[in-house]
Amino acid sequence: MSLYTFFGCLLLAYGPILSIFFLYIAPNAQYVLLMVSSAFFCLIALLLSSVIWYFATSAQTMHFVSITYSVAIQELCRWGFYLLLNRAEAGLNTVSANPKSSFNQSVFAFVSGFGYALMSSLVGYISLLVESIGPGVMMCPSCPQATLYFISAITTSLFSLMHIFWMVISFEGFSEAPQMKGWFKIGWVIVSHYGASFAVSGGSTHARSVI
The per-residue pLDDT of the chain, averaged, comes to 85
Q: What average pLDDT does this structure show over 141-163?
A: 83
The number of folded domains in the chain is 1
What's the domain range around 160? 1-203
Paired residues of 140 in beta bridges: 143
Average pLDDT score over residue span 80-103: 80
Q: Does 37 map to a domain?
A: yes
CA-CA-CA-CA dihedral for 29, 30, 33, 36, to nearest 10: -100
Q: What is the pLDDT of residue 207?
A: 46
Contacts of 142 (CB under 8 A, 6+ apart): 151, 202, 203, 204
pLDDT tops 50 at residue 136: yes
Band (116; pLDDT cuts 50, 70, 90): very high
Asked whether residue 5 is assigned to any structural domain, the reply reads: yes
Nearest to 10 by CA among 115, 164, 130, 92: 130
Long-range contacts of 11-14 (CB under 8 A, 24+ apart): 12/150, 12/153, 12/154, 12/157, 13/121, 13/125, 13/129, 13/152, 13/153, 13/154, 13/156, 13/157, 13/160, 14/121, 14/156, 14/157, 14/160
Give a yes or no: residue 211 inside a domain.
Answer: no
In a domain, 208, yes or no: no
Q: What is the pLDDT of residue 203?
A: 52
The residues that bridge with 147 in the sheet, in sequence order, are 139
Distance CA 79, CA 67 (A): 18
In a domain, 210, yes or no: no
Tell me the pTM.
0.86
Confirm whether 209 is domain-assigned: no
**Across 16-45, average pLDDT:** 93
29-55 vs 63-95: helix crossing angle, rounded to 10: 160
Q: Is residue 54 part of a domain?
A: yes
**pLDDT value, residue 1:** 56
Is 21 part of a structural domain of the chain? yes
